[in-house]
Structure 1
Amino acid sequence: MSPSLPPQGVVRSAAAVNEEIRSLWLDPRVQLSGEGRAALERLYEEWAAAVRAEVVEAA
């Protein structure tokens, strides 16, 4: 299952990315496939970028 990534340069909100992370990994006790782990890693990176963008906006 690969997440639908936004076009480059478009930053989704941290909440939106977090929701996709939660939907990808419904049960953390269940190990993800290699593809799922790769998707999760991309989502974590996108989430971190969104958090940084939101912090900069708030400042």
Structure 2
Amino acid sequence: MSPDLASHGSTRSAAELNAAIRALWSHPAVPLSAEQRAEYRRLLAELQQAERGGVTTAA
């Protein structure tokens, strides 16, 4: 996914994003590459946007 898409709002559900995050690890003991860590950070940011989608601030 491109960074531009993430900055314009999430198009994936929280469940889809969680699945993508979990798919990054082939095994819990295997560390992520630099590219995978960057993708993980993008996915986390998108997940936060998806989770906040229905949240409004109180006056």
Q: 2:25 corresponds to which residue?
A: 25
Deviation at residue 29 of structure 1 after TM alignment? 1.9
Q: 1:15 corresponds to which residue?
A: 15
Which consecutive segments of 4 or more residues in structure 1 shift more than 4 A?
Answer: none
- State the TM-score, normalizing by the size of structure 1: 0.68
1:25 and 1:44 map into 2 onto residues whose CA distance is 14
1:7 alignment partner, SS class: helix
Deviation at residue 15 of structure 1 after TM alignment? 1.0
Structure 1: runs of 5+ lacking an equivalent: none
Deviation at residue 10 of structure 1 after TM alignment? 4.3
**Is this contact kept in 1: 2:9–2:46, CA < 8 A?**
no
- State the TM-score, normalizing by the size of structure 2: 0.68
